[in-house]
Structure 1
Amino acid sequence: MAVERGDKIRDLFLGLLFDGIGMLSFVIPGIGEFSDIVWAPVSAWLMTRLYKGKIGKVAGVVNFIEEIVPGFDIIPSFTLMWLYTYVFSPSEKKSVTTK
């Protein structure tokens, strides 16, 4: 399945946005960690929607753990998944089409 260049850029933008939302818990001390209880399952679900299949499910679980554990919000899991999918994964790299 070929991935359009626009989809690749959209996924990067959404990943940066979701990572930014996840890091917002550092802005409000005390309340921020409570927000992770809400954000962790939402971000895990978003990860599985953004990246389909087994790899998306694994990334969703890793993302959930990263968001729920205090102090680990600094890890940009959506951006790392984008890099894995579109830069480092040889099978996806070959199927990206440009216009």
Structure 2
Amino acid sequence: MDNKYKKLVKCVLLDAVGMASLAIPAVGPFLDVVWAPIAASISYKMFGERKGKYTSLITFIEELLPATDVIPSFTIFWFLFDFLGIGKETQKIII
């Protein structure tokens, strides 16, 4: 399996962990408070220093806000950055 698709599997699993708090009605919001900084840190490391500072902030906010757990943010970021290649740094040729 290509590394790009291994990363996709990790993203889907991380999104599933984030959505799991919906299954526990009374405790779910408290789990989100714990999961939000963890998810933000993982997002930062997963998508690199340049893009990671934005993805981690978005992930942190998404995990803290109520009713946004259904948004698969890791998978969306993978699709944008790894599949479509948005934001890829191009090599400059110096003459």
Verify same fold: TM over 0.5.
Answer: yes
Of 34, 47, 57, the match for 1:51: 47
List, as ranges, runs of 4+ consecutive aligned residues in structure 1 with deviation greater than 3 Å: none
Q: Which has the higher helix share?
A: 1
Identity %: 35
Provide TM-score, normalisation by structure 1. Answer: 0.82
Unaligned runs of 5+ in 2: 91-95
The residue that corresponds to 2:61 in the other structure is 65
The count of corresponding residues between Structure 1 and Structure 2 is 89
CA distance in 2, matches of 1:87, 1:10: 12
Unaligned runs of 5+ in 1: 95-99
Please provide the CA RMSD for this pair: 1.7
Task: Please give the TM-score of this superposition, normalised by the length of structure 2.
Answer: 0.86
Post-superposition offset of 1:54:
1.5
Higher RCO structure, 1 or 2 (CA under 8 Å, sep 6+)? 1
> Which structure: larger Rg?
2
| Larger relative strand fraction | 1
